C-alpha cells in the first residue's frame, strides 16, 4: 500500500537514487521527477542527495558530485541543466533548450488565482508552441488576436423535451463567453435543426435565442438549415419543401472572417432526400466554386465548411439510449434514412478545395473525426435532445473553436447532469 504522504506519486529507485514520479505525467514527452534527497554522497547534517548551492557550510564538491549522480541516473547531461534559484512560490518558471547550462531563471509568470493556473495548464497541454506563448505572457507582450467559433446545433425548439432547456442554454452561453477576452471576436454558428417543426411558435422561440446571442456577442448567429427546419418533425415524404427552400434560400453562401483569414462555406444539405436524408447536390458545389473563385486571394484563406448532415458514420456513445423506433428498425436501414446521399462526392469536393475543417450536427452526438488531414467536427444537441441511458440525465453539448494564427483549438463541452456545469469532454489542436 502506498504511503499516504505519497498518494498520487510513484516511488522509484534508479541507480540508487530514490525519486518520486507522477503517473499522470508519464505520458508526456517531458521527463519529470522529484528527488527525495536520498542516493547521494553528502554527509550530516545534510541528507545524502543534497542539491542546495545556497545553504551555509555546504560542501560544494559533494553537491556537484550529487548533480553528476542525479544526471547519470536520469540519463541527462549535466552541462545542459538549468538551475533555478526559486523556492515556495506560486508562479511558473519557463525554460527552453537554449538556456542549457546557463543556470538562470529564464522567465517567471506570477499566478494570482486558480483560473490563471488553469489557463497556463491549458497552454502547456494544448498549445502547439507552448513555450512561445508562455514567454509572451511572461514578457507581457500583447497576444495575437483570436476569433472564436461557438458552435450550437440541434436545438429543436418546440419539442416537449427541450421546452425548459432554453434558459439553461442561455446561462451556459453566458458563462462560456465570460471566459473569453473582451477584445477577441466571437461568431456563433448553428448547424441546423433550430426547431422541431417549422411553425411560427417554434420560430419565435428560436428568435428569442437569436436576440440573446446578438446581445451578448454583438452579432447575429450564422445558421444553416437542418431537416427539421424544413419538414414537419424532420421527415420528408415528398421533396416539395426541399425544392422550395433550394430555389428561394440563400445557399450556398460564404461568411468571411477577415481578422483570422478564414472563410466559412455555408451549405444547405437538404436539397433532396426522403425521411431524414440529405443531399448537397452538384449545383450547390458548382455555385460555391464560383463564389470562391471570385475572391482575389482565396488561397490566402483557410476554409471551413458548415452543413447539417454528417459525412462519416458515427458510433453511438455509451450515454446514448435507443429511441423506440431504433429498437424496431434494423440499424443499416435506419442509417440510410439519416445519411447524406452524396457524402462521398461532397468529401472529394472538400478535399479538392483544400477545406481543413467541417462543422455539422444531425446525429446529436459530439464527435471529432479525421479524413485525410481534414477534421470533421460534429456537435451534439445543445438543448440535450437525447435519450440518456440513465434516467434524469441529459447531454447538452456545444463546441468552441479558438482560431489563432494557423492553429485551431477545438474543445467540446457537455453537461450531463442538469445544473452541474459543462465539462471538457474532448480537445483537439488542428494545424491549418
Query: With contact defined as beta carbons under 8 Å apart, do 198 and 229 qualify?
Result: yes
> Helix, strand, or coil here: 426?
strand
* pLDDT tens by residue, 65-106: 888 888 888 888 777 777 665 555 556 666 666 666 655 444
- What pLDDT sits at residue 27? 47
Least confident segment among 123-132, 139-148, 258-267, 275-284: 123-132
- What pLDDT sits at residue 289? 97
pLDDT mean over 55-73: 77
Whether CATH 3.60.21.10 fits 147-431? yes
pLDDT mean over 27-38: 74
Q: What are the contacts of 202-205 at 24+ separation with CB within 8 A?
A: 202/157, 202/158, 205/157, 205/158, 205/166
pLDDT mean over 383-412: 92
> Helix, strand, or coil here: 91?
strand
How far is 422 from 420, CA to CA, in rounded Å?
A: 7
pLDDT mean over 398-427: 93
Q: How much of the chain exceeds pLDDT 90, in percent?
A: 46
* CA-wise closest residue to 156 among 362, 314, 378: 362
What residue ranges in 206-332 does DSSP mark as E strands? 222-224, 253-257, 262-266, 302-306
**CB within 8 Å of 369: residues ≥ 6 apart:** 312, 314, 375, 376, 378
Region of 63 on the Ramachandran plot (φ > 0 left; ψ -120 to 50 alpha; else beta): alpha
Find residue 357's DSSP bridge partners.
Answer: 304, 375
- What pLDDT sits at residue 365? 95
pLDDT-derived band at 397, boundaries 50, 70, 90: very high
pLDDT at 242 over 80: no
For the chain, the domains span 4-81, 147-431
pLDDT at 25 over 80: no
* CA-wise closest residue to 30 among 130, 103, 118: 130
* pLDDT tens by residue, 206-216: 999 999 999 99
pTM exceeds 0.85: no
How far is 210 from 222, CA to CA, in rounded Å?
A: 10
Least confident segment among 53-57, 112-116, 274-278, 355-359: 53-57
* pLDDT tens by residue, 313-367: 999 888 887 776 677 777 777 787 789 999 999 999 999 999 999 999 999 999 9
pLDDT mean over 143-151: 89
Query: With contact defined as beta carbons under 8 Å apart, do 226 and 361 qualify?
Result: yes
pLDDT at 30 over 60: yes
pLDDT mean over 142-162: 91
* pLDDT tens by residue, 225-234: 999 988 877 7
Amino acid at each position: 500500500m502506498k504511503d499516504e504522504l505519497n498518494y498520487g506519486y510513484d516511488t522509484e529507485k534508479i541507480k540508487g537514487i530514490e525519486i518520486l514520479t507522477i503517473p499522470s505525467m508519464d505520458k508526456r514527452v517531458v521527463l519529470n521527477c522529484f528527488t527525495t534527497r536520498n542516493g547521494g554522497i553528502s554527509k550530516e547534517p545534510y541528507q545524502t542527495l543534497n542539491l542546495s548551492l545556497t545553504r551555509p557550510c555546504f560542501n560544494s564538491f559533494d553537491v556537484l558530485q550529487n548533480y553528476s549522480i542525479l544526471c547519470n541516473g536520469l540519463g541527462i547531461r549535466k552541462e545542459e541543466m538549468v538551475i533555478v534559484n526559486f523556492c515556495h512560490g506560486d508562479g511558473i518558471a519557463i525554460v527552453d533548450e537554449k538556456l542549457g547550462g546557463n543556470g538562470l531563471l529564464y522567465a517567471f509568470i506570477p499566478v494570482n488565482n486558480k483560473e490563471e493556473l488553469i489557463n497556463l495548464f491549458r497552454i502547456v497541454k494544448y498549445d502547439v508552441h507552448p513555450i512561445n506563448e508562455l514567454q509572451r505572457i511572461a514578457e507581457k507582450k500583447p497576444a495575437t488576436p483570436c476569433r472564436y467559433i461557438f458552435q450550437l446545433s440541434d436545438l429543436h425548439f418546440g419539442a416537449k423535451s427541450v421546452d425548459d432547456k432554453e434558459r439553461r442554454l442561455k446561462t451556459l452561453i453566458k458563462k462560456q463567453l465570460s471566459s473569453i477576452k473582451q477584445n477577441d471576436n466571437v461568431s456563433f454558428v448553428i448547424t441546423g435543426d433550430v426547431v422541431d417543426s417549422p411553425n411560427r411558435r417554434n420560430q419565435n422561440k428560436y428568435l428569442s435565442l437569436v436576440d440573446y446571442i446578438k446581445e451578448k456577442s454583438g452579432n447575429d448567429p450564422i445558421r444553416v438549415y437542418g431537416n427539421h427546419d424544413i419538414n414537419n418533425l424532420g421527415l420528408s415524404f415528398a421533396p416539395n419543401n426541399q425544392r422550395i427552400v433550394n430555389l428561394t434560400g440563400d445557399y450556398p453562401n460564404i461568411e468571411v472572417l477577415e481578422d483570422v483569414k478564414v472563410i466559412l462555406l455555408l451549405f444547405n444539405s437538404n436539397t433532396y432526400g426522403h425521411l431524414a436524408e440529405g443531399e448537397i447536390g452538384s449545383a450547390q458545389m458548382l455555385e460555391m466554386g464560383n463564389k470562391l473563385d471570385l475572391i482575389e486571394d482565396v488561397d490566402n484563406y483557410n476554409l471551413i465548411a458548415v452543413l447539417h448532415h454528417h459525412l462519416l458514420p458515427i458510433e453511438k456513445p455509451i450515454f446514448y439510449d435507443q429511441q423506440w423506433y431504433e429498437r424496431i428498425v434494423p440499424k443499416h436501414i435506419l442509417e440510410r434514412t439519416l445519411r447524406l446521399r452524396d457524402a462521398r462526392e461532397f468529401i472529394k469536393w472538400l478535399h479538392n478545395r483544400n477545406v481543413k475543417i467541417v462543422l455539422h450536427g444531425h446525429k446529436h452526438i459530439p464527435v471529432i473525426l479525421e479524413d485525410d488531414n481534414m477534421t470533421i467536427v460534429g456537435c451534439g444537441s445543445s438543448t440535450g435532445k437525447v435519450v440518456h441511458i440513465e434516467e434524469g440525465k441529459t447531454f447538452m453539448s456545444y463546441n468552441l473553436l479558438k482560431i489563432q494564427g494557423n492553429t485551431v483549438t477545438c474543445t467540446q463541452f457537455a453537461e450531463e447532469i442538469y445544473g452541474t456545469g459543462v465539462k471538457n469532454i474532448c480537445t483537439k489542436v488542428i494545424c491549418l
